[in-house]
């Protein structure tokens, strides 16, 4: 009996060893297969793999993400993306996907990439305000080859526009249309100049500096905000009044006039020029148009334009250093000037057209 039990124990031990060997071998085979598959997958996905070769279709699909966001708030920025003068598309949730094909077709050796849009709800009380920023782009091929996304950071102050395109977006006829119809339409006489005079005189707001109200050096309000509280400074009056004028007739040659320390309004209609400012301020001149090719007449017209401008300077108390006109702009047009006489020459061309 003792010998039989010993034989049975030996057989059981040998059988256990065999089973263990089989199990360990099976596990090793599974692990080895998994490692090989993982290595194969890594090589097929990693562009730095020495043996990897792109197919033509894969080259076409190479892309990188351009990430746009504001440093101060962490908000993602959505807007139109341009390279030089060519529209690429729009960013969504702060991301624009750029393909290698687009890069090769639209970018130059030294290109400028920029984004233009409006802030969203993430900015709280600064939502729905224009922003723009620019970046010099030299070479993105490394990013495509390494699937490297690019960050485009901004430090936004949307209440202080630094670029003309941002200033233009504060002119919003659509925000003032209902106000015009409800409060001003009943006074109109179907005469352009009389109606513009009414708009300018009606738009009276209580002056308060940006610092006294917002504790900021500059704080541009939208027309809707100004019409609601009737308080602000020169740019608030100017952008809101121009928005009303453009809501009245968006074909009028009416613009904001940007000076070094001030903003006013300039309008042209039927050979007549007018500068509007707050407190019912108005300076105007009418030009002679019988023979616009006559050199003596051109000289007289230029003198008349200069006089209107200088009378405005003297009344407003603008010092010589404040008398340079940088630009005229509305929501659709922008005219810039390098010298004082450029404005005079531009005005003369208006009556010749």
180 in the same domain as 140? no
211-234 pLDDT, tens digit each: 999 999 999 999 999 999 999 999
214 in the same domain as 271? yes
**Is pLDDT at 38 greater than 50 in this prediction?**
no
Instruction: Indicate whether 38 belongs to any domain.
Output: no
Q: In 10 A of CB 27, how many CB atoms?
A: 10
If one counts the domains in the chain, the total is 2
- Residue 341 sits in a domain whose CATH number is 3.10.620
Last residue of a domain, one of 117, 139, 158: 158
Three-state secondary-structure class, residue 152: strand
pTM of the model: 0.80
Per-position DSSP letters for 304-346, written without gaps between them: HHHHHHHHHHHHHT--GGG----EEE-SS-EEE-SSHHHHHHH
Lowest mean pLDDT: which of 16-25, 72-81, 155-164?
16-25
pLDDT band at 167 (very low <50, low <70, confident <90, very high): very high
d(CA 234, CA 214): 15
- Residue 95 sits in a domain whose CATH number is 2.60.40
230 in the same domain as 82? no
246 in the same domain as 176? yes
Cα dihedral angle (188, 194, 195, 201), rounded to 10 degrees?
-110
Q: Which domain holds residue 69?
A: 59-158
Average pLDDT of 37-61?
43
Query: Residue 277: which H helix or E strand, with range?
Result: strand 272-277
Confidence at residue 198, expressed as pLDDT on a 0 to 100 scale: 96
Confidence at residue 17, expressed as pLDDT on a 0 to 100 scale: 53
190 in the same domain as 144? no
d(CA 193, CA 268): 10
Confidence at residue 291, expressed as pLDDT on a 0 to 100 scale: 66
**Of 12, 123, 127, the residue nearest 73 (C-alpha):** 123
Cα dihedral angle (19, 23, 24, 27), rounded to 10 degrees?
170
**Is pLDDT at 136 greater than 60 in this prediction?**
yes
Instruction: Indicate whether 127 belongs to any domain.
Output: yes
Last residue of a domain, one of 158, 175, 208: 158
136 in the same domain as 70? yes
Average pLDDT of 56-63?
65
194 in the same domain as 330? yes
Average pLDDT along the chain: 85
């Amino acid at each position: 009996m003792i010998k039989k039990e010993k034989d049975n124990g030996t057989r059981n031990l040998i059988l256990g060893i065999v089973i263990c060997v089989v199990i360990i071998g099976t596990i090793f085979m599974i692990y080895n297969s998994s490692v090989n598959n993982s290595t194969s997958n890594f090589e097929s996905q990693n562009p730095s793999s020495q043996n990897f070769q792109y197919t033509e279709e894969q080259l076409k699909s190479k892309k990188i993400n351009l990430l746009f966001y504001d440093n101060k708030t962490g908000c993602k920025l959505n807007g139109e993306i341009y390279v030089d003068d060519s529209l690429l598309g729009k960013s969504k949730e702060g991301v624009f996907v750029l393909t290698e094909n687009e890069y090769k077709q639209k970018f130059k050796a030294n290109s400028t990439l920029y984004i233009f849009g409006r802030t969203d709800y993430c900015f709280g009380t600064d939502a729905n305000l224009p922003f723009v920023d620019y970046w010099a782009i030299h070479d993105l091929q490394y990013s495509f080859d390494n699937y490297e996304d690019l960050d485009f950071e901004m430090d936004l102050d949307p209440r202080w526009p630094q670029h003309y395109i941002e200033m233009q977006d504060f002119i919003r006829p659509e925000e003032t249309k209902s106000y015009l119809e409800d409060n001003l339409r009943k006074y109109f006489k179907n005469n352009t100049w009389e109606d513009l005079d009414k708009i300018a005189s009606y738009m009276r707001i209580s002056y308060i500096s940006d610092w006294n109200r917002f504790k900021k050096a500059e704080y541009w309000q939208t027309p809707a905000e100004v019409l609601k509280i009737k308080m602000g400074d020169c740019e608030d009056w100017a952008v809101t009044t121009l928005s009303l004028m453009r809501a009245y007739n968006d074909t009028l040659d009416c613009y904001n006039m940007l000076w070094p320390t001030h903003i006013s309004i300039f309008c042209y209609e039927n050979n007549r020029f007018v500068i509007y400012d707050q407190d019912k301020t108005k300076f105007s001149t009418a030009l002679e148009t019988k023979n616009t090719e006559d050199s003596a007449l051109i000289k007289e017209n230029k003198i008349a334009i200069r006089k209107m401008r200088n009378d405005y300077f003297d009344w407003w108390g603008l010092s010589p250093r404040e008398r340079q006109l940088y630009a005229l702009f509305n929501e659709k047009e922008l005219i810039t000037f390098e010298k004082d006489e450029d404005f005079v020459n531009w005005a003369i061309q208006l009556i010749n057209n």
